[in-house]
């Protein structure tokens, strides 16, 4: 059985067909060709597939594609404005907060969700918020620094 | 025969119950257990019944006398609710221990209970605050205490076609509070080696008038420890009473040895955690932790 799903991705109305057991991650990557969202573990442990689902940060591997009907989804593709990178993305480059890059879209989406909720997170709060995003090459210090630096700059402070 | 897998998102309890009567139907709330079980082949649902469009299961409503906690409400929505965290700090700290930010965006307290892991963090906390489970099924609604819900690892009292709708939790009286602690070998995102939920109510003189003690991960299901609660009643949380409560919890524990800890270790830690959780509950209750 194929389900017809109408949803909103990064502010744009989109439609796709999916099987009932397919994940939202499958639909984003294979049906909508939004391949910025990555599959890591497929069991909700690594955060590489993080998206915002109706305002909440979730692992898209643990959401059924069918659940997207009528919902609002934000993915990594919606973070930059055209060719202008989001400040978080610029700071990740500046701080060399990535190597292989598989975890990076998940970190950016998760960090953006944090800063929208809390513009002035402590280092501890940032580390706990991002504890569901795993990185196996760069390590976490540069990532945390990039996020905190972004927060400071968005608040109008210079560090 | 290749039956098609189906997905349904009923908007009423009646329709959900009808669907749950079908062969191979599984409730989908946050999906953080079910989808993982599918990936590993442990679950093979033929019909997903997404219960998040039903008003009763998705409502979080703090009323004058009690809290209605819909079984499918995501952890994040509860943790964000400042008044609920003030009234039941122990229950909320248990909920906040579950998984990552991403998991909390989806995982529900109802799902945690229905998954029936002996190590479920929210279960001892629910039991400590006397949560009542509202169950709907083909023969109407029934209500049971949280500690009666799980019957064995992975097994619950739910009959085919029945659904956990949500929890009723009475507002705590004045000078009452709760606490939940678990032991894990790391700082985040792990499964409890032992968990302990304690609630206490104090009289005007600061003496404990009632208490509830529940321990997790030390038996096939959550254990209520009435002897530990009795040790706290009448005390002001003095050392001797806390020691007796801890000893009662260690004596009640019936743990197994596994990769997370030996039975002896778990028995000892059960006592330590009950003592510490009781200390925290007393402190919070004295601080006017609830209205």
Shortest CA gap B45–chain A (Å): 9
B102/A131 touch (CB, cutoff 8 Å), yes or no: no
A64/B4 touch (CB, cutoff 8 Å), yes or no: no
Helix (H) or strand (E) holding A108: helix A104-117
User: Tokens 């039941």 identify what position?
Assistant: B88
pLDDT, residue B289, reads 45
pLDDT, residue B288, reads 53
Q: Enter the tokens of residue A105.
A: 């879209």
Burial B60-81 (b: 16+ CB within 10 A, else e): beeeeeebbbbbbbbbbbbbeb
Shortest CA gap B58–chain A (Å): 14
Shortest CA gap A91–chain B (Å): 22
B99/A57 touch (CB, cutoff 8 Å), yes or no: no
**Nearest Cβ partner for B35 among A47, A53, A62:** A62
Angle between helices A104-117 and A87-94 (to 10 degrees): 130
Q: First-to-last CA distance in chain A? A: 55
HEC letters along chain B: CCCCCEEECCCCHHHHHHHHCCCCEEEECCCCCHHHHHHCCCCCCCEEEEHHHCCCCCCEEECCCEEEEECCCEHHHHHCCHHHHHHCHHHHHHHHCCCCHHHHCCCEHHHHHHHCCCCCCHHHHHHHCCCEEEEEECCEEEEEEHHHCEEECCEECCCCCCEEEEEEEECCCCCEEEEEEEECCCCCCCCCCEEEEEEEEECCCCCEEEEEEEEECCCCCCEECHHHHHHHCCCCCCHHHHHHHHHHHHHHCCCCCECCECHHHHHHHHHHHHHHHHHHHHHHHHCCCCC
Q: Using the predicted structure, report yes or no on whether residue A149 has a pLDDT greater than 60.
A: yes
- Is A133:A106 a contact under the CB 8 Å cutoff? yes
Summarize the confidence of residues A50-63 as an average pLDDT: 98
Q: What is the dihedral of CA B11, B29, A38, A109, to 10 degrees?
A: 80
B102/A47 touch (CB, cutoff 8 Å), yes or no: yes
Q: Using the predicted structure, report yes or no on whether residue A159 has a pLDDT greater than 90.
A: no
**Nearest Cβ partner for A62 among B31, B40, B45:** B31
Helix (H) or strand (E) holding A7: strand A3-9
Summarize the confidence of residues A130-143 as an average pLDDT: 93
Q: Enter the tokens of residue B17.
A: 């119950």
At CA B54, angle to CA B60 and CA B78, rounded to 5? 20
pLDDT, residue B189, reads 80
B31/A64 touch (CB, cutoff 8 Å), yes or no: yes
Residue-wise pLDDT tens digits, A4-25: 999 999 999 999 999 999 999 9
pLDDT, residue B3, reads 66
Give the whole-angstrom CA distance, residue B76 versus residue B60. Answer: 12
pLDDT tier for residue A158 given thresholds of 50, 70 and 90: low
Residue of A nearest to B35 (CA): A62
- Local structure of A69: helix, strand or coil: coil
CB < 8 Å to B36, chain A:
43-44, 62
**Nearest Cβ partner for B102 among A1, A21, A59:** A59
Sign of CA dihedral A91, A93, A98, A100: positive
Q: Check if the interface score ipTM surpasses 0.90.
A: yes
Shortest CA gap A157–chain B (Å): 27
Give the whole-angstrom CA distance, residue A131 versus residue B188. Answer: 8
CB < 8 Å to B38, chain A:
21
pLDDT, residue B186, reads 81
pLDDT, residue B290, reads 44
Residue-wise pLDDT tens digits, A97-127: 999 999 999 999 999 999 999 999 999 999 9
Shortest CA gap A41–chain B (Å): 10
Provide the residue-wise pLDDT of chain B in tens; the chain has 291 residues. Answer: 456 899 999 999 999 999 999 999 999 999 999 999 999 999 999 999 999 999 999 999 999 999 999 999 999 999 999 999 999 999 999 999 999 999 999 999 999 999 999 999 999 999 999 999 999 999 999 999 999 999 999 999 999 999 999 999 999 999 999 999 999 988 778 899 999 999 999 999 999 999 999 999 999 999 999 999 999 999 999 999 999 999 999 999 999 999 999 999 999 999 999 999 999 999 999 995 444
Mutate to test the interface with A, among B3, B42, B46, B101 (most CBs of A within 10 A): B101
- Is B216:B195 a contact under the CB 8 Å cutoff? yes
A132/B4 touch (CB, cutoff 8 Å), yes or no: no
Closest CA to A46 of B100, B36, B112, B104: B100
């Amino acid at each position: 059985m194929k389900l017809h799903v109408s949803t909103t991705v990064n502010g744009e109305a989109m439609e796709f067909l999916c099987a009932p057991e397919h994940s939202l991650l499958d639909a984003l990557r294979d049906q909508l060709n939004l391949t910025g969202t990555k599959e890591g573990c497929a069991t909700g442990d690594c955060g590489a597939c993080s998206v915002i689902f109706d305002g909440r940060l979730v692992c898209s591997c643990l959401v059924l594609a069918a659940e997207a009907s009528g919902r609002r989804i934000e993915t990594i593709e919606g973070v930059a404005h055209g060719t202008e990178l989001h400040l978080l993305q610029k700071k990740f480059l500046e701080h060399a907060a990535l190597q292989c890059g598989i975890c990076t879209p998940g970190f950016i989406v998760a960090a953006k969700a944090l800063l929208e909720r809390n513009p002035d997170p402590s280092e501890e709060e940032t580390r706990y918020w991002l504890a569901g995003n795993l990185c196996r090459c760069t390590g976490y210090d540069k990532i945390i620094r990039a996020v905190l630096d972004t927060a400071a700059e968005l608040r109008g402070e210079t560090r | 025969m290749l039956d098609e897998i189906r997905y349904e998102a009923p908007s009423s309890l009646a329709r959900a119950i009808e669907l749950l009567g079908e062969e191979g139907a599984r409730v989908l709330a946050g999906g953080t257990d079910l989808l993982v079980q599918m990936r590993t082949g442990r679950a093979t649902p033929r019909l997903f019944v997404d219960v998040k469009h039903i008003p009763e299961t998705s409502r979080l409503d703090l009323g004058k006398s009690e809290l209605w906690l819909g079984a499918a409400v995501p952890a994040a929505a509860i943790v964000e609710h400042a008044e609920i965290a003030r009234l039941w700090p122990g229950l909320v700290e248990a909920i906040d221990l579950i998984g990552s930010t991403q998991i909390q965006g989806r995982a529900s307290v109802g799902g945690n209970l229905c998954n029936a892991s002996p190590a479920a963090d929210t279960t001892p906390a629910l039991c400590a605050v006397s949560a009542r489970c509202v169950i709907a099924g083909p023969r109407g609604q029934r209500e049971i205490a949280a500690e009666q819900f799980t019957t064995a690892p992975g097994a619950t009292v739910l009959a085919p076609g029945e659904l956990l709708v949500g929890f009723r939790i009475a507002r705590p009286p004045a000078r009452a509070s709760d606490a939940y602690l678990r032991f894990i070998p790391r700082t985040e995102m792990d499964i409890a080696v032992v968990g302990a939920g304690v609630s206490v109510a104090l009289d005007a003189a600061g003496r404990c008038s009632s208490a509830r003690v529940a321990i997790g991960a030390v038996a096939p299901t959550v254990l209520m420890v009435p002897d530990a609660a009795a040790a706290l009643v009448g005390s002001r949380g003095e050392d001797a009473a806390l020691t007796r409560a801890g000893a009662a919890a260690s004596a009640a524990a019936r743990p197994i040895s596994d990769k997370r800890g030996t039975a002896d270790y778990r028995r000892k830690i059960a006592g330590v955690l009950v003592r510490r959780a009781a200390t925290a509950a007393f402190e919070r209750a004295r601080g006017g932790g609830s209205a």
